[in-house]
């Protein structure tokens, strides 16, 4: 599946947000702040978030984090001031920004990235995503998939046990994605 360039498109029901999620392989990050500034300019006026794709359990993981973050802002339970940061909190399954950045944030050592772009306008979201994609390079959504060694890494990062995977049953990669999404959703209960 190497080189897969399908962008995942979705809408958050009852909110009006259009989302585009994609993966990028072999991204070169020499200066994180500079990269974020350039991407912020290219993504404007859309909301965006970058993730270390090696810590992402499928595009659904990011989508559900966005759904939960949107709900947190609507209910007044958001911990951060920005929707983008709230999404990172839910995706990382952490309530501390510093921990969320450590789990899923991009750094100089990040090689594979996931990009989320959101807008209230479908065409605007698409345009923002395309502009940012040009800055990141090689589009490859296979970096979002859970396969091989990534399964064990994600189990460790998100504290998922083999017993939990067995209890969910079915394909272990899909089970892991479900468990990570559930852990993120449970953040709202603990707030």
Span 8-190 CATH architecture: 2-Layer Sandwich (3.30)
For 46-97, the pLDDT digits (tens) are 999 999 999 999 999 999 999 999 999 999 999 999 999 999 999 999 999 9
For 171-183, the pLDDT digits (tens) are 999 999 999 999 9
pLDDT, residue 3, reads 45
Tokens at 84, concatenated: 């983008």
- Looking up tokens 């990028």 gives 24
pLDDT, residue 147, reads 87
Question: So where are the chain's domains?
Answer: 8-190
CA dihedral sign of residues 130, 184, 89, 157: negative
For 91-129, the pLDDT digits (tens) are 999 999 999 999 999 999 999 999 999 999 999 999 999
The pTM for the full model equals 0.94
For 133-169, the pLDDT digits (tens) are 999 988 999 999 998 899 999 999 999 999 999 999 9
Contacts 24+ apart (CB under 8 A), 81-90: 82/47, 83/47, 83/118, 84/47, 84/48, 84/49, 85/49, 87/49, 87/62, 87/116, 88/49, 88/51, 89/187, 90/64, 90/65, 90/66, 90/184, 90/185, 90/187
pLDDT, residue 80, reads 94
Q: Please choose, from the candidates 50, 18, 72, the residue with its C-alpha nearest in 3D space to the C-alpha of residue 187.
A: 72
Question: DSSP secondary structure string, the chain?
Answer: -TT--PPEEEE-TTT--EEEEEEESS---S-HHHHHHHHHHHHTTSEEEEEEGGG---HHHHHHHHHHHHHHHHHT--SSSSHHHHHHHHHHT-SSHHHHHHHH---TT--SEEEEEEESSHHHHHHHHHHHHHHH--B-GGGGS--THHHHHHHHHHT--HHHHHHH-S-HHHHHHHHHHHHHHTHHHH-
pLDDT, residue 187, reads 86
Query: Which value, in Å, is the radius of gyration of the alpha carbons in the chain?
Result: 16
- pLDDT tier, 5 (very low <50, low <70, confident <90, very high otherwise): low
pLDDT, residue 1, reads 35
């Amino acid at each position: 599946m190497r080189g897969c360039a399908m962008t995942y498109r979705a809408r958050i029901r009852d909110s009006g947000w259009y989302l585009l999620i994609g993966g990028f392989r072999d991204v070169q990050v020499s200066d994180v702040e500079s990269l974020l500034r350039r991407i912020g300019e290219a993504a404007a006026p859309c909301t965006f978030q970058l993730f270390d794709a090696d810590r992402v359990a499928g595009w659904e993981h990011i989508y559900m984090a966005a759904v939960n973050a949107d709900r947190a802002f609507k209910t007044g339970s958001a911990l951060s001031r920005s929707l983008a940061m709230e999404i990172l909190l839910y995706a990382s399954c952490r309530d501390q920004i510093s921990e969320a950045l450590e789990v899923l944030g991009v750094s100089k050592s990040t090689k594979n990235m996931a990009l989320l772009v959101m807008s209230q306008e479908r065409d605007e979201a698409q345009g923002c995503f395309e502009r940012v994609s040009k800055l990141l390079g090689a589009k490859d959504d296979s970096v979002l998939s859970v396969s091989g060694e990534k399964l064990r890494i994600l189990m460790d990062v998100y504290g998922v046990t083999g017993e939990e995977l067995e209890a969910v049953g079915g394909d272990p990669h899909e089970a892991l994605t479900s468990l990570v999404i559930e852990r993120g959703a449970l953040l709202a209960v603990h707030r």
